[in-house]
Amino acid sequence: MKSIAAEYCVILVTLLFASAIQAQDRRLIVDAARPSVLQLSVGGLNAVGNAITQRSLGSGFVIYSDSQLKQTFVATAAHVLGTDDAYQLDETKRVIGRQIRILRQRLDTDEMVVITERAELVGKNNQDSDVAILAIPLQDLPSLQIGSSTGVGSPDSVALLGFPAGGRFTSTPMSVSRTDLNVSLVVLTNYADEGQSGGPVLDLDAGGRVVAIISENDDRQRPHYHHAVLISGAVSILNSYLNERGRPMLEIQNRRDADRFSVVGRTGDVIVEINGTGGGALEAGKTDTKQITAADPADVRATGSEVSDCEAELGRTISRAQAVASVKPFENTGTKVSAELEVHGGHYRSATTCLAGKPVGLVDHDTNATASLKAKSVIEIQARVAQFAMRLIWQGMPIDSTIALLDPLGAVRAELSAAGSGEQLVDIDELGVWRISSSLSEQIEAQGSVEFRKMARRAVIFLEASEKPQN
């Protein structure tokens, strides 16, 4: 009995020691990141030109610096900056009244020091993800390492860094509940405080790399958990800015893929089409196609030309349709299709005859409107080792979507039905370039004046080396 008790004591002490070491390591990660975390104070002039008395407070962090451009770039949440129409605009609707002050906290005295009174907005995305990039004069501050969000999931440990309520720097530990990558969200197990929005979410299981940006609570009155948005949205904005100026772009670091495979190419295109039966441009139909490299999405929109007899507007509803879609690289190893389809049916009345301009013998006619999407993408990978397992992961795919795995000779090794969300483990068993080909399609239709339909699609496919051992 004494021997068993002694063994249990040794195990307990070992576990406690390991836990203490892990806690110490995580404190070191947070301490190393602290100089890069900044506070934002946003104010200026409102829409009618009066000074804003209550400034918006938030957090941000140094994501990159470029000595040639003499700029340091700060990532934050777009909602921290407020909506454009809350500030004074010029005649071209450009924001001129917003003032973004950025501060850092001294490590020795905790004093807040102003870095700049006017940060420049490089770009933001309020639609797909709550992210923004700011530029400030070049600073001697470290940039945080950026990691892939695709490897993050329950119950990974993370730390949220920022300045709650405009106060002192705070690190809030919590875990990941789930990742909804197709809508750019990481859902956390707890909630952050006001003022932490825009701060970094560090993946403590991957050395403290930033995988997301703190966004918003699920409920402002009685929050239960917090949303964070994928860091890749901010990286895309930054890299577009750097690429336009011929500067090196920021790379997202993967957890474990680089030693087994590398992505050597990503291609794809989207086709959107609209048509209807109500005459005009809509009945003539419109189509647009865009490649993965296009800066703008495929975009078509048109209306019908419904007209009632005798009195043109009597009982008339004009049909309309629009379709906007794009396919883009997603993080390091995937692709993402984003689409918005919208249709509204139409209606008109015909008459047997017109008497004194009034219809006689009315007949009602419904017209329809349709919008459709087709998208395909190919991810090419170079296998660096001859034998490993790879996970094909998809989220948000419509019904009848397919994914195929082709070996270096072009033979189909696997063909999958990929509706909804899921994953499949596949064997990569020889060196060379493998291809992962995917296709999806979707169509919506509305008939008559009372029918309106709208569809938003966010579909992602990405790859990961698996930890599952080979047989």
**DSSP letters for 420-432:** EEEEEEEEE-SSE
pLDDT in tens, 207-243: 899 999 999 876 766 667 788 999 989 998 999 999 9
Least confident of 213-222, 367-376, 420-429: 213-222
Distance CA 207, CA 199 (A): 17
Are 413 and 292 within one domain? yes
Are 188 and 292 within one domain? no
Are 429 and 457 within one domain? yes
Are 334 and 411 within one domain? yes
Are 278 and 183 within one domain? no
Look up residue 436 and give its two tokens: 């992962």
User: Which whole-number Å values give the CA distances from 370 to 278, 289, 347, 399, 416, in the listed order?
Assistant: 11, 17, 15, 18, 28
Q: How many domains does the chain have?
A: 3
Tell me if 5 is assigned to some domain: no
Are 45 and 79 within one domain? yes
Distance CA 251, CA 329 (A): 13
Are 170 and 285 within one domain? no
Question: Can you name the residues that pair with 291 across neighbouring β-strands?
Answer: 269
Q: Is the separation of the CB atoms in 139 and 115 below 8 Å? A: yes
Q: What is the residue range of 194's domain?
A: 157-244
Are 112 and 227 within one domain? no
202 or 225: whose pLDDT is higher?
A: 202
**Predicted confidence band at 55 (pLDDT cuts at 50, 70, 90)?**
confident
Are 202 and 322 within one domain? no
Are 274 and 377 within one domain? yes
Q: What is the pLDDT at residue 464?
A: 87
Question: Can you name the residues that pair with 26 across neighbouring β-strands?
Answer: none
> What Rg value do the Cα atoms of the chain yield, rounded?
27
Are 450 and 325 within one domain? yes
**Predicted confidence band at 3 (pLDDT cuts at 50, 70, 90)?**
low
* Amino acid at the residue 262: S
Tell me if 267 is assigned to some domain: yes
